[in-house]
Amino acid sequence: MPRVSLRRSTAFRLALTFGTLVILAFALAGGVSYRLLNQELAHRLDDSVNETYSVVASTYAKDDVEDLIAAINTYASLTTADRSLFAVEDKQGRRLAGNFTPPLLPDGLSTIESEDVGLGDGGVYRIRAGTIDGTRLIVGESFDEVQRLSRVQLVSLLWAALFAVVTAVGGGIFLAIRAQSRLDAVAGTMFDVSNGQLDRRIPLLGNGDDIDVVSRQINSSLDQLSSLVEGMRQVSADIAHELKTPLNRLKMTLDQAVDTGERGGDVAGLLQEARAEGDQINATFDALLRISQIEAGARKRRFQNVDLASVVALIGEIYVDVAGDAGQQLLVVSSSPDRDVVVGDRELLTQMLVNLVENAIRHCPEGSTIRIELTRKNEEVIVVVSDDGPGIPLDEHDKVFRRLYRLDKSRTTPGSGLGLSLVRAIADLHGATIKLEDNKPGVRVTIALPAKH
Ligand SMILES: Nc1ncnc2c1ncn2[C@@H]1O[C@H](COP(=O)(O)OP(=O)(O)OP(=O)(O)O)[C@@H](O)[C@H]1O
Ligand SMILES: [Mg+2]
């Protein structure tokens, strides 16, 4: 069986697409949250620097710079220069206290690097500078904490991204393999079926997912296909079997004619018999072909409106005498014309009813009553052909619709066992349902055709 490589399978491509989308979405969301957190931390650092500046500044009383210097010294002694910076300068820019020598800074917030203030390298500080009564106060905090938190966030984002990628790709591959194996099962089954194993079916999981639904539909199509093929096989076997008898009979008659001819006897009668047998075989083949053609549905193109009441009336007219000749009675019960219009092929519909009436006349004894009833019920036109003859045993009801099937007791009457097959083919062509029942006594065939709207 030709196999689809996993990389080319739809499931894998879907998994890959969604994996990529997950990664992209993650990168986007991660980037945004990283930026937001950094902004928030920077804000907080600014707030903290501003707050420290205000607290220190509040220790200054007018013309008393000593308190400010004392406060700065206390703050500076509580921390290290790599975390917080403090400085106080006098009006001439001389440093009065603090743990660093500030460069020239504008008032307000600014950012400086540690090299600028001789504090080694790599550090960055947020600085707030201001002038109180001519004295300059400078307070700063290192970005170190902010950078550390950013790093932690970045690392955790990268870990999470790695997890997401592994999960998305791993999960995608797992799902792709699972879906692929089920599609392989579908393809495998179809391959086996096309190789003649008509009984193979796609295994179902029973979880009702899309593949299950499609598989169930394919399985039911396969059921139908195999029963059709089985039916065809049966029909071919039946036809071969049933035609063997008349062909043997024909051969025997011809053999007899040859023998008689060799002996100088009169062969005209035997040849006539052979011709009649040949004609009968021909008629059987014609009927078989006709049924196949009707089943193929080509006649649908000729469909038109047909008033069944007029068809029934015509059949009644013709067959009342035929039934009378056979010592039977034919009754026609029909509703008003024009109500019983269907869309179909008039000739075929006539043939269908004729077959049923002829069956009743042929298979019922003298004195029987045959009825044709036509009624309209809701959206259906219903024709019932019934008789009070010997009937058909219940277990033969299905079989009589098979091609060439005849009840044993009918084998002596003329006919080829194709009449009811044709009836069924015509009913199917018209979308009609057909029902065979016991008329107690007799046969009752009900055909319900969809009425024309
Ligand atoms: N009204 C009936 N009463 C009793 N038996 C019937 C009736 N209709 C059909 N059958 C039985 O069903 C069999 C099949 O009928 P079908 O019409 O297919 O074939 P047929 O009448 O024998 O031959 P033909 O091909 O000429 O119609 C008949 O051979 C007969 O045994
Ligand atoms: Mg018949």
Q: Strand 443-450 relative to strand 433-438: parallel, antiparallel, unpaired?
A: antiparallel
> Based on the structure, what is the number of domains in the chain?
3
Residues 36 and 161 reside in one and the same domain: yes
Residues 141 and 245 reside in one and the same domain: no
Collapsed DSSP state (helix, strand, coil) of residue 329: strand
**Which residues are 434's β-sheet partners?**
447
- What are 243-272's pLDDT values in tens digits? 888 899 999 999 999 999 999 999 999 999
Instruction: Give me the pLDDT at residue 39, please.
Output: 93
Residues 143 and 260 reside in one and the same domain: no
Distance 413 CA to ligand 2 centre (A): 10
Query: What is the CA angle 453-377-307, rounded to 5?
Result: 55
Instruction: Name all residues whose Cβ lies below 6 A of ligand 1.
Output: 355, 359-360, 362-364, 387, 389-392, 400, 405-407, 410, 415-421, 443
In this structure, the residue with its CA closest to atom 9 of ligand 1 is 359
Q: Which two tokens stand for residue 213?
A: 């639904």
Residues 189 and 226 reside in one and the same domain: no
Own/partner pairs, 439-443, CB within 8 angstroms, 24+ separation: 439/386, 439/387, 439/388, 439/391, 441/388, 441/389, 441/390, 441/391, 442/364, 442/368, 442/386, 442/387, 442/388, 442/389, 442/390, 442/391, 443/359, 443/360, 443/363, 443/386, 443/387, 443/389, 443/391, 443/392
* Residue 437 belongs to domain with CATH number: 3.30.565.10
Q: Where a domain ends, among 265, 295, 325? A: 295
Residues 256 and 319 reside in one and the same domain: no
Residues 135 and 265 reside in one and the same domain: no
360 CA to centre of own chain: 48
Instruction: Give me the pLDDT at residue 2, please.
Output: 61
In a domain, 203, yes or no: no
Residues 276 and 314 reside in one and the same domain: no
Q: Which atom of ligand 1 is nearest to the CA of 420?
A: 18
Residue 81: phi and psi, rounded to 5, are: -70, -20
In this structure, the residue with its CA closest to atom 13 of ligand 1 is 406
Residues 180 and 238 reside in one and the same domain: no
Instruction: Give me the pLDDT at residue 241, please.
Output: 83
Give the separation between CA 374 and CA 388, rounded to whole angstroms: 18
Low-confidence ranges of the chain (pLDDT < 70): 1-4, 6, 336-338
Distance 197 CA to ligand 2 centre (A): 37
Calculate the alpha carbon distances from 187 to 146, 200, 218, 294, 309 in Å.
59, 12, 11, 34, 53
Q: Are 219 and 202 in contact (CB under 8 A)?
A: yes
Residues of the domain holding 420: 299-450
- What are 352-398's pLDDT values in tens digits? 999 999 999 999 999 999 999 999 988 899 999 999 999 999 999 99
Residue 410 gets which letter from DSSP?
Answer: G
Q: Report the residue among 388, 394, 395, 406 best suited for mutation to probe ligand 1: largest number of ligand atoms under 8 A from its CB.
A: 406
Collapsed DSSP state (helix, strand, coil) of residue 5: coil
Own/partner pairs, 185-194, CB within 8 angstroms, 24+ separation: 186/211, 186/214, 186/215, 186/218, 187/1, 187/2, 187/3, 187/4, 188/1, 189/218, 190/218, 191/1, 193/222, 193/225
CA-based diameter of the chain, in Å?
Answer: 164
Residues 342 and 236 reside in one and the same domain: no
Q: Report the residue among 280, 356, 359, 424 best suited for mutation to probe ligand 1: largest number of ligand atoms under 8 A from its CB.
A: 359
In a domain, 430, yes or no: yes
In a domain, 201, yes or no: no
Q: Are 123 and 82 in contact (CB under 8 A)?
A: yes
Give the separation between CA 229 and CA 218, rounded to whole angstroms: 16
Instruction: Give me the pLDDT at residue 26, please.
Output: 86
Instruction: Give me the pLDDT at residue 396, please.
Output: 94
In a domain, 397, yes or no: yes
Distance 314 CA to ligand 2 centre (A): 19
Residues 237 and 172 reside in one and the same domain: no
Instruction: Give me the pLDDT at residue 350, please.
Output: 97
Secondary structure E strands in 90-134: 95-98, 108-113, 124-132
Distance 355 CA to ligand 2 centre (A): 6
Distance 422 CA to ligand 2 centre (A): 9
In a domain, 205, yes or no: no
pTM higher than 0.75 for the full model? no
Distance 144 CA to ligand 2 centre (A): 104
Q: Where a domain ends, among 260, 279, 295? A: 295
